[in-house]
């Protein structure tokens, strides 16, 4: 059997047995057609199943290097490899071909971008000034409370919007129980400034004193949508002259980076952010190191030579 026939058989398997979406089948088909085409040139002719079974790690690395040389981005190359791995798993089950070489091939990984926190003054200004975007006292108080909470407690936007009105009382007592990713809960201390902003909002909350009401609501009374908060931040950053990196999530990055710069322990920051792995939190040490290097380059006389 030729490789093209095996690909057609695999795509039919995806359609009929795996019930894959048409777009998924089309994407896999394009990825596998490119792979088979490369191997036809690489091996000197249309490959057969025996040719695929005999591929070595060097052949596959040559294919990956060719994709990289064409300027194909890392995410696309990773998807290409996922398609080829799925194809070889199918060949192993259906035709007894050994897929060990393909399974052991490393997935291309992009370098993780560093978090982009706001400067301290800018982060403080967001919470203090964002209410000025609206003329409605209710919206003003809500937005000030939300963005003060995001920066003051380092919450994800979804975590903040998932809170109920009962959280105001807990905040005044000094802490909030936050449900993060995977349903994992963590206790987050609350600053007095955050508790004050939440209480000011609670006095204007249209559904108070219902403790089970959403803490942050939209103008129609339902739980506030994250898109509304993100749009508010876009409006603010244009008026304040901030870059596109100034998002609600950037306030979480700012919280962590400013704590680290102030001498906070990395493990404590991990707990406050709800990171499952310390390696995720360690990105903020890279941010702080980059900040210190920038200060050194701007100020040290030897850096200007």
pLDDT tens sequence across 176-210:
999 998 888 999 999 999 999 999 999 999 998 88
State how far the Cα of 102 lies from the Cα of 98, in Å rounded to an integer. Answer: 9
> What per-residue confidence (pLDDT) applies to 301?
56
Q: Which of 205, 252, 253, 258 is catalytic?
A: 252
pLDDT of residue 42: 92
The pLDDT of 118-134, averaged and rounded, is 93
Nearest to 31 by CA among 55, 13, 48, 7: 7
Q: DSSP secondary-structure letter at 110?
A: P
For the segment 252-292, what is each residue's pLDDT rounded down to a tens digit?
Answer: 999 988 888 888 888 898 999 998 888 777 777 765 555 54
Token pair in block for residue 135:
């003329």
What is the dotted CATH code of the domain comprising 120-255? 1.10.443.10
* Residue 249: active-site member: yes
Give dist(CA 190, CA 197) in Å, integer. Answer: 11
pLDDT at 137: 94
Does residue 244 have a pLDDT over 60? yes
Q: Kindly give, in sequence order, each residue whose CB lies less than 8 Å from that of residue 187, ignoring residues fewer than 6 positions away.
A: 175, 176, 177, 178
The whole-number average pLDDT for the span 71-79 is 87
Q: Give DSSP secondary structure letters for 155-173.
A: --HHHHHT-BTTHHHHHHT
Tell me which of 281 and 68 has the higher pLDDT: 68
Which residues, including other chains, have CB under 8 Å from residue 280's CB and lie 6 or more apart? Answer: 270
Choose, from 67, 77, 156, 205, the residue flagged as catalytic: 156
Whether residue 8 has pLDDT greater than 50: yes
The proportion of the chain whose per-residue pLDDT surpasses 70, expressed as a percent, equals 91
Domain layout of the chain by residue ranges: 3-104, 120-255
User: Which pLDDT score is estimated for 265?
Assistant: 85
Return the closest-CA partner of residue 202 out of 174, 163, 234: 163
CB 251 within 8 A of CB 259: no
User: Which pLDDT belongs to residue 296?
Assistant: 47
- 17 against 299, higher pLDDT: 17
pLDDT over threshold 80, residue 111: no
Per the annotation, the verdict on 181 as an active-site residue is yes
Tell me if residue 113 is catalytic: no
Known catalytic residue: 275?
Answer: yes
Give the architecture (CATH level 2) of 3-104: Orthogonal Bundle (1.10)
Tokens 């108080």 -> residue = 141
- 42 catalytic residue (yes or no): no
Q: pLDDT at position 116, please? A: 82
Is 300 annotated as catalytic? no
Of residues 93, 181, 184, 267, which has the active-site annotation?
181
**pLDDT (tens digit, 9 = 90+) per residue, 15-59?**
999 888 888 899 999 999 999 999 999 999 999 989 999 999 899
Q: Which of 142, 205, 253, 275 is catalytic?
A: 275
Q: What is the pLDDT of residues 128-171, one digit of tens each?
A: 899 999 999 999 999 999 999 999 999 999 999 999 999 999 99
Confidence grade of residue 295 (pLDDT, cut at 50, 70, 90): very low
H/E element, 186: strand 185-189
Distance CA 40, CA 210 (A): 68
Helices and strands, counts by H and E, the chain: 16, 2
First-residue to last-residue Cα distance in the chain: 66
Question: Which of 77, 142, 249, 258 is an active site residue?
Answer: 249
């Amino acid at each position: 059997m030729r490789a093209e026939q095996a690909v057609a058989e695999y795509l039919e398997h995806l359609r009929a047995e795996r019930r894959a979406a048409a777009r998924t089948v089309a994407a896999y088909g394009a990825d596998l057609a490119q792979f088979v085409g490369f191997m036809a040139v690489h091996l000197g002719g249309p490959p057969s199943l025996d040719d695929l079974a005999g591929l070595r790690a060097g052949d596959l690395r040559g294919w990956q290097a060719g994709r990289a040389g064409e300027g194909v981005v890392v995410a696309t190359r990773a998807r290409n490899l996922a398609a080829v791995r799925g194809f070889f798993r199918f060949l192993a089950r259906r035709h007894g071909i050994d897929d060990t070489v393909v399974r052991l091939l490393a997935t291309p990984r992009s370098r993780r971008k560093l978090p982009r926190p706001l400067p301290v003054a800018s982060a403080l200004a967001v919470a203090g000034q964002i209410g000025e975007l609206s003329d409605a006292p209710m919206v003003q108080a809500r937005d000030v409370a939300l963005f003060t909470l995001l920066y003051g407690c380092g919450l994800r936007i979804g975590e903040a919007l998932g809170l109920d009105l009962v959280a105001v009382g807990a905040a005044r007592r000094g802490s909030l129980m936050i449900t993060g990713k995977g349903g994992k809960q963590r206790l987050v201390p609350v600053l007095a400034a955050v508790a004050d902003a939440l209480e000011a909002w609670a006095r204007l909350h249209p559904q108070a004193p219902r403790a089970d009401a959403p803490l942050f609501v939209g103008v129609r009374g339902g739980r506030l949508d994250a898109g509304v908060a993100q749009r508010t931040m876009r409006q603010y950053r244009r008026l304040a002259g901030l870059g596109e990196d100034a998002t609600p999530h950037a306030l979480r990055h700012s919280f962590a980076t400013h704590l680290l710069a102030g001498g906070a322990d990395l493990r404590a920051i991990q707990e406050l952010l709800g990171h499952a792995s310390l390696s995720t939190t360690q990105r903020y040490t890279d941010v702080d190191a980059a900040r210190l290097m920038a200060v050194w380059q701007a100020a040290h006389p030897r850096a200007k030579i």
